[in-house]
Every structure is written in C-alpha cells, then in structure tokens.
Amino acid sequence: MAYKLDPAAPLDAEFRRIAGEQLRRAERVLVAADGDPNAAVHEARKRLKKLRGLTRLVRDARPAFHAKENARYRDLARSLSGARDSGALVEALDRLADHYGAEVAPTVFEHVRSELTARREAATSRDLGPAIEAAARSLGAARHKLDGFVIAPKDKTGDAAAIIAEGFARTHDRARSALATARKEGDDEALHALRKRVKYHWMHLRLIAPLWPEAIAPLTKAAKAIADGLGLDHDYAVMGQHIAAEPNAFGSPRELAVLAALIDRRQAELRAAALDTARRLLADDPDGVKMRVKRLYRAGPARTASDPDAPVASPLEVLRQAG
C-alpha cells in the first residue's frame, strides 16, 4: 500500500512496513549514487522527510522512539543538503521567466541565470562521497531500530485510532497556528514556517487516505498546492537575498530592478493563493478534526461504491458527516 496506512492492520506493523520501505529506498538510491550523486541526494532527502512525517503521526505510541529517530532523520537530511538547494534557485528563475518572459527582455533573466548556474555547478562539484557513505550506514542502522517499535496490546496507548487522530490533529493545529502567524506577519520566515507545517499535514493526509479516498484526495491536492506554492515563494526570497548580497555578480542595476519587481509580483500572487487555500483547508478546529479521524480510522478502510455514478459530496461535507 506504499505510503498509506491500512487501518485493518496492526499500527506498529504498518509503521515498520512504511518506515522500512522508505529507509530501504533511501539506502538503495545512495548506494547506487555514482551516476548522479546530486539526484540521489535529492531522492534520499525526500524519503527522510516522509519518515519524519510518519514518525510525527504516531509519536504518541512511542514518544521516546519518535524523539530519537526523528532527530536521526533530521540530521541525516541536513548532512546531505547543499547542491539541491542551489539547483532549486535555477529552476525557480526558469519558472519566473516562463511566467513573465513575454513582458520583459531576455537579458533580465540571462545574467542572473548564468551566475546561479555557476554557483550550482560549484556546489555539485564537491565530493559527496563521504557524506553519502556515512548517510547510507546510518540508514542501515535506522532500519534495525524499527524492530523496537512495538505497541503492547494491553498498553493504554494501544488504541491505534486515538494515536493517529492525536497525531493528525496536532499537526493540523500547528498548521492553523502557522497560518494565523503568516496572515498577521506576512514575512518570509512566517510563510516558510507555514509551508513546513502544511507539508507535514499533506503527508498525514496521504497516510490516512485509505480511510476515505474520495474525501481526502482533494484535501491532499490542496495541501500539496500550498506547499509547492510557498516553496517557490521561499526560493524567490532566497534568490533575492543572494542578489542583494552581491548585486554586481548578477547583472546591471536596471536589469536587477526589473527582476526584483517581477519577483515581488510573483511572490504576491503565490502568497495570496496559498493563504486563501490554507484558510479553507485548515478551517476546522482541532477537536473536531481529532474526533472525525478517530471515527474514520475505527470504521476501517473505505469500500468502493457499488454505483460508480453516485454523486460524491464535497470533502469537508463528507468529513463532517463522519463526525
């Protein structure tokens, strides 16, 4: 079932299955990283983020396990950062050129792209071998730790539905708080924090998708759109910082002024769309969310409707019906 929980199976077994698969995939891609180490690093970091999302969802089952392994996954991802971050800025600039290229001269983007590309190549030329080898070893050690994730049947934390509902509602509530801060402050830091919180919410939606696919799929899509939009917004914020630090390296003052105006304009569009969608996605209070997820989990996996033409209610409506 890949990155999805089966509510009909024991929760600890499901955790070990999903976490084990993510760790094996990350380990495999790093071991075979000779051809394109930077692509391997990017893929491994995505797996580590999924692992952190999974451990956060079930943290109440084994708090000590979560604290230790979440820190391990976080530190591993940090040890592999660098080259991908530089490449993201080139991709962000290309998307800006696609969006506004018809309105301005190509030179507005050419000089900046040349400098960003040079920085990306400098970052990717560093020897990633030692970091990759160390990360692969640590991933192997992490796999062996999974056997220790066991929920005793008579343990008071053994109610899988309660564990999942608590973890899901906690992440949802933190995303709501981050949204309130982002709407109030509106700065780069607050919006980046919102993006991180919504991304974990997106992962949790993916994990509980089998509970009600028709209802949860649109919510998952909305969360992904918010995270992607704010991720691009953050890339533009970082790009602006690089340009401000060394403007002479990126082009003429006139070209940079035009580029800065385009970045400001695009960021305003991205932020407005993300905040509006987040306001809708995170509208429900944590207690209501917790109750609905708990009831859905206890109900087990959703069954396919016998009538494929039967109307499907809106996501919020069907989740509210579960309450």
- Tell the burial category of 186 from Cβ atoms under 10 Å away from its Cβ (0-12, 13-18, 19+): exposed
**pLDDT at residue 172, as a whole number:** 98
**CB contact at 8 A, 50 and 113:** no
- C-alpha torsion 237→239→244→248, nearest 10: -160
DSSP letters along 166-187, please?
A: HHHHHHHHHHHHHHHHHHHH-S
3-state helix, strand, coil in the chain (%, to 5): 80, 0, 20
* Residues contacting residue 125 through CB under 8 Å, at least 6 positions apart: none
Q: What are phi and psi for residue 298, nearest 5 degrees?
A: -70, -25
**CB contact at 8 A, 11 and 160:** yes
SS3 labels along 57-116:
HCCCCCHHHHHHHHHHHHHHHHHCCCHHHHHHHHHHHHHHHHHHCCCCCCHHHHHHHHHH
**pLDDT at residue 314, as a whole number:** 47
Among candidates 270, 279, 297, which has minimal Cα distance to 166? 297
67-122: pLDDT as tens digits: 999 999 999 999 887 656 778 899 999 999 999 989 999 999 999 999 999 988 88
**CB contact at 8 A, 161 and 298:** yes
**pLDDT at residue 309, as a whole number:** 45
CA dist 83 and 120 (Å) reads 6
Instruction: Give the three-state DSSP class for 306.
Output: coil
Instruction: Give the three-state DSSP class for 153.
Output: coil
Per-residue pLDDT of the chain (323 residues; tens, 9 = 90+): 689 999 999 999 999 999 999 999 999 999 886 667 878 888 999 999 999 999 999 999 999 999 999 999 999 999 887 656 778 899 999 999 999 989 999 999 999 999 999 988 887 777 678 888 899 999 999 999 999 999 876 554 569 999 999 999 999 999 999 999 999 999 999 999 999 999 999 999 999 999 999 999 999 999 999 999 999 999 999 999 999 999 999 999 999 999 999 999 999 999 999 999 999 999 999 999 999 999 999 998 776 444 444 444 444 554 555 55
**pLDDT at residue 81, as a whole number:** 76
Global pTM value: 0.90
Residues in the chain: 323
Gyration radius of the chain's alpha carbons: 22
**pLDDT at residue 308, as a whole number:** 44
State the amino acid at position 245 in one-letter form.
Answer: A
Element (H, E) at 297: helix 286-299
Measured CA to CA in angstroms, residue 309 lies from 212, 219, 304, 321 at distances of 17, 21, 12, 20
